[in-house]
Amino acid sequence: MAAVAGIHLGNTNCFVAVSKDGKVETVSNEMGTRMTPTIVAYTGSEKIIGQEAKQFGVRNPRSCITNIKACIGNSFHEDEFNELKKFCSCTVHNKKGEIYHEIKLGEEDKVVVSNTKALSYIFTKLLEIAESFGGDDLEDVVIATPSSFSDQQKMTITEAAESIGFNVLRMISEPAAALLAHNVGQNDTQENYNTLVFRLGGTSSDAALVNVNCGMYNLIGELRKTHFGASSFDDVLVKNFVGEFKKKYKMDITDNRKAMSKLRTACEQCKMGLSRKESSQIAVDSLYEGMDFHGNITRMKFESLSSSLISECMAIVDELLKSNNLQREGIAKIALVGGGTCIPKLISTFKNAFPKAEILDNRSADETMALGAAIQASILQASSKVEHTPKLKCLTKNIGIKVSNSKYEALLAKNTPVPCQQKRSFTIAANQKTIAIPIYEWADGEEATENAKLLAKIVAKDLVVKEEDRKVELITLINKLDNITIILTVDDKKYDVHITNESHHK
C-alpha cells in the first residue's frame, strides 16, 4: 500500500508524520529538522516557506506572513481583528471575514495574499516533505485540528490541502490525535477512565478532558487560551537579556524590531537548551549597532523567572476541572503535548499535582499530534471501505436557552455527537396556557455576551394543568407547577424541538 501522512497544523510550527511499511515516524524537512515553521516570506519577487522563511524573517519580519492558522475563521468581530493584528508580522486586512496579508516589496511595490492562499503554500511545503519520505504516490492524509474549529474552518483547511494534491481522509481533533499517538485505550477496550491532554504550543495553549471508554474517545470539556503559549516563556528570557545588554552597553534595544527579532530567536534556542541541561548560552552577532552579544542563564534562574507562567498553566487545568465537576484524583492519565511542555519544571509540577496519574512519555511532545494523525490515516487506509467509514460529526457550538438577561445555559454542549437528543424540564404556573422558549447557539466564552445566535423560538399553546393540582396554604393561593419537557433533536444543521406536557402526555 502507498504511504499515508498525518499533519499537525500549528500556528507557529507544523509537523508531518508518515506511515510506511507498517512504521510511523516524523519526517524531517530539507533543513534536517522535523519542525517546519508556519511562515511564508517574500524576498523581492521570490516566495520562500518554512524554516528558510523564518530565518529571513529575523532580518525582515514585515516581509513574513505569520499566524496563518489563527487567521482561519468564519468571520472576525472588530475587537477580535484588532487583537489579531498585534500578532501578525505584516499588515493584515479583514474583507468580509477573510484575512488578507499585505507585504511591501519595495517603496511602492507590494503583494496581497489571502490567508487561504498562504495556507495552501504551507501545505505545498508539507506535501514535499511527506513525499520525500513516502514517495511521489503519497496523497492520503489525516489532519489534526483544534476540537473547537467550526465546520467552516475545517472546510477551509480541507480545500487548501486538496488544492495542492492532498486527499484529506479525515480531520481528527488534537486531543484525540495526542491520545492515539500514545496508544491510549487501544489495547484494553474494556477500560473506562478520564484523561487530561494539556497542550502548550507556540502562541496558544489548551487543556482537554477526554473520557476513554471501550476504546472510544469522548471529549468532556476543553479550555483554550489564545495568546498564552511557549512564546510567553521566551518573553521572560528576552526581558532578562535585554536588561543584561542595557546594563553592559547602556543602550535599550526594545524599540528596535530587527534587534528584538534576532534576540528572540536566540532566546528560543536557549530555552530549548535548558530543557536538556542545567545552563544555556546565547550568542548574537551584531545584535545592535554592530555590537555582538553573549549571555548565559541557568535553569534554576529560568524557572524562577517563569514561575508565574507555570502557575498559569496549572490554573488553566484547575479551571477546566472545576467547570466539569472533576477532582485531580479523577484523572488517570495525562498527555503533555507541544514543545513548551518539555520544560522540566512544568513536567515536575504536573507530576506533583497529579501523583496518582500516569504522565505519558513526552520526549517528542511537539510531534505527538502529527504521529497520532498518521496512525489514524494508516487505520483508515487498512480498511477496505475507507470511503464508507462513518465520520462522527459533533456540535461546534453550544445550544441552549437564556436563563437571565446576560446568561445562557447549554442544553446540548459543544462537542456533543450528532444526531442527538436532550430532555429538559421547565415549569409553568397552573393558570398558564402558553409557553415560548427561544433556542440559542453560542461559542465558548460568549455565554455572557450578546453574540449568541437565536436559532428558533418554540411556542406551545393551549396547555392544561389539572385543577386538583392547586393547593391553598396560609390563605395564600399557591399554583402547583407542572412539568413541561422540551426535546431538542439535532441532526447536522436541522434543529427540531418537541414540547410535551408530561402529566397529560400531550
Reading the chain (506 residues) residue by residue, the pLDDT tens digits are 789 999 999 999 999 999 999 899 999 999 999 999 999 999 987 899 999 999 998 888 889 999 999 999 877 888 888 888 999 999 999 988 889 999 988 777 889 999 999 999 999 999 999 999 999 999 999 999 999 898 899 999 999 999 999 999 999 999 999 999 999 988 766 678 999 999 999 999 999 999 998 788 999 999 999 889 999 999 999 999 999 999 999 999 999 988 999 999 999 999 999 999 999 999 999 999 999 999 999 999 999 999 999 999 999 999 999 999 999 999 999 999 999 999 999 999 999 999 999 999 877 899 999 999 999 999 998 874 444 444 556 777 888 888 776 677 787 777 776 666 666 666 666 677 777 788 888 876 655 556 788 877 777 777 665 544 433 232 222 333 445 555 666 655 555 555 554 443 32
The three cell numbers locating residue 341: 511542555
**Residue 447's pLDDT is what?**
54
What integer pLDDT is reported at residue 61 of this predicted model?
86
Cα–Cα distances in angstroms (integers) from residue 46 to residues 49, 63, 111, 257, 420, in the given order = 10, 11, 11, 23, 51
Whether 361 and 368 have beta carbons less than 8 Å apart is answered as no
Whole-number Cα distances in Å, 386 to 66, 168, 173, 377, 450:
35, 11, 19, 10, 42
pTM for this model (two decimals): 0.78
Catalogue all structural domains in the chain, each as residue range(s) with its CATH number: 230-306 (3.90.640.10), 394-501 (2.60.34.10)
| Helix (H/G/I), strand (E/B), else coil: 388 | helix
Q: Is 378 exposed, middle or buried (0-12, 13-18, 19+ CB in 10 A)?
A: buried
* Chain mean position to CA 17: 19
Q: In the chain, what's the furthest Cα-to-Cα distance?
A: 92
d(CA 421, CA 423): 7
